[in-house]
């Protein structure tokens, strides 16, 4: 019997992505345990360092420690580095090395890059990576410059410049880490800063492929179905968020101290934008209504766009499910939108993602309802908010994060990792050998089942 020829690498590119992210997190965790990167010089427990490194690499923003008081400049630089790696993808590092050394990118690296970007083919993967690198650098530098205009007069040149750079990178990568201690609550009355941060969040969460499509529109005069769907769903969710929060929070009077309509609108817009993946907040979520909390959970679950710095179920996945539902109600056999038919395999993938991710979040919430201590004035929404925030790599919290038990921290760490790497990537990486051992593909006899 002829043996199957094995390549020089025994692991699949999907497994390499999962292991690569885990490796970066482990290295970051070990660095953050060092006494020299803390303010008091006493070091950090491994579980808290692991939690912080996972949150930074998975661009979430949930923290068991206060970033600006616990970590010194060295610790903050490590966190910022992890945010950049996690936001752009850890494969950006070897790509930058190849580019600087003017070396040819090998086939294996191209395959891994394709898998990390969820592309269908290897064609144009290097051009896309160069575009992503340039796009990210330009946007983060521009964001840092715009924030420096406000921060430098307030905090001084050195501190203001550092704050501007840190928050520009954190916002663009949808990470949500802040150096103010209260996120952006102190900027409720500063629409300029809220607008700049919100713009950076949208830029990073919209997806690099969508931005490339938009930049090339003048030449091509067309957008791909992916870009059309991503833009439509993203804009719809932002507008829906503003409307729902305006109604549920009495126009902003219940969550914003200012009486200015402009300030209220800026905060409502910021709530709608940041809830999908970024984690920054300008209002105290302890004062947000139950309706507002529930809708925030929905936005966190949906998340951003594939091929971006965002996590969650993804806008296009949600869009495919909505389109399939509408098409079915219209009596159509296939999911149709923008004069195109979405492949049945894509619809099946979207349904699978929705079912697995929702089941996972509910299961984790059930376990945490046993392991975590809830305040007497809080209900299950306290846990649901934390769970969906971790999976969506959002970073919003109602106050549970610093009080998590060891089991709770490990569960949230796992959710942040799965939310960033992707549930299917993690699942495939764990079951790859089992899938290979099952042999070829075949179809069993069909039979009907009553539903509904």
What is the token pair recorded at 416? 């942040």
Q: What is the pLDDT of residue 107?
A: 63
Dist CA 398 CA 400 (whole Å):
6
Dist CA 191 CA 87 (whole Å):
26
The structure tokens 């959970």 sit at 297
Q: What is the pLDDT of residue 7?
A: 45
What is the token pair recorded at 288? 């947000």
For residue 17, count other CB atoms closer than 10 A to its CB.
24
Query: Using an 8 Å Cβ cutoff, are 51 and 26 in contact?
Result: no
Query: Using an 8 Å Cβ cutoff, are 92 and 129 in contact?
Result: yes
The structure tokens 């070897």 sit at 94
Q: What is the pLDDT of residue 3?
A: 44
Q: What is the pLDDT of residue 213?
A: 86
pLDDT < 50 stretches in the chain: 1-9, 434-435
For residue 97, count other CB atoms closer than 10 A to its CB.
11
Query: Using an 8 Å Cβ cutoff, are 208 and 128 in contact?
Result: yes
Q: What is the pLDDT of residue 221?
A: 81
Distance of CA 190 to the CA centre of its chain: 25
């Amino acid at each position: 019997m002829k043996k199957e020829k094995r390549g020089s690498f025994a692991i699949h590119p999907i497994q390499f992505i999962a292991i690569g992210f885990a490796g970066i997190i482990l290295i970051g965790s070990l660095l953050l345990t060092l006494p020299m990167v803390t303010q008091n010089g006493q070091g950090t427990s491994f579980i808290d360092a692991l939690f912080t490194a996972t949150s930074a690499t998975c661009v979430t923003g949930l923290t068991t420690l206060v970033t600006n008081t616990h970590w010194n400049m060295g610790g903050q630089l490590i966190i910022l580095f992890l945010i950049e790696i996690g936001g752009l993808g850890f494969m950006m590092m070897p790509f930058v090395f190849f580019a600087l050394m003017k070396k040819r990118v090998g086939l294996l690296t191209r395959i891994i890059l394709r898998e990390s970007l969820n592309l269908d083919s290897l064609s144009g993967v290097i051009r896309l990576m160069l575009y992503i690198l340039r796009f990210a650098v330009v946007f983060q530098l521009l964001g840092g410059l715009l924030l420096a205009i406000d921060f430098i007069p307030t905090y001084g040149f050195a501190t203001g410049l550092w704050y501007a750079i840190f928050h520009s990178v954190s916002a663009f990568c949808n990470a949500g880490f802040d150096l103010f201690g209260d996120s952006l609550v102190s900027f409720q009355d500063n629409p300029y800063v809220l607008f700049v941060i919100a713009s950076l969040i949208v830029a990073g969460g919209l997806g690099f492929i969508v931005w490339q499509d938009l930049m090339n529109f003048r030449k091509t005069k067309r957008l791909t179905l992916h870009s059309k769907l991503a833009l439509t769903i993203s804009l719809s969710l932002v507008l829906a968020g503003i409307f729902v929060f305006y109604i549920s929070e009495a126009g902003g009077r219940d969550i914003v101290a200012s009486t200015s309509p402009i300030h209220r609108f800026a905060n409502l817009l910021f709530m709608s934008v940041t809830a999908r993946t970024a984690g920054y907040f300008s209002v105290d979520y302890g004062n947000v209504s139950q309706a507002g909390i529930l809708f925030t959970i929905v936005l966190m679950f949906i998340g951003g766009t594939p091929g971006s710095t965002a996590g969650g179920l993804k806008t296009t996945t949600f869009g495919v499910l909505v389109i399939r539902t509408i098409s079915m109600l219209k009596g159509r056999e296939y999911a149709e939108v923008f004069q195109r038919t979405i492949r049945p395999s894509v619809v099946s993938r979207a349904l699978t993602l929705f079912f697995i991710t929702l089941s996972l979040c509910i299961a984790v919430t059930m376990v945490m309802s046993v392991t975590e201590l809830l305040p007497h004035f809080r209900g299950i929404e306290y846990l649901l908010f934390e769970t969906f925030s971790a999976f969506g790599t959002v970073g919003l919290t109602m106050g549970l994060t610093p009080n998590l038990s060891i089991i709770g921290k490990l569960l949230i760490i796992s959710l942040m990792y799965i939310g960033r790497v992707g549930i299917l990537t993690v699942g495939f990486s764990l079951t790859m050998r089992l899938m290979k051992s099952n042999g070829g593909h075949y179809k069993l006899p069909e039979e009907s089942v009553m539903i509904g």
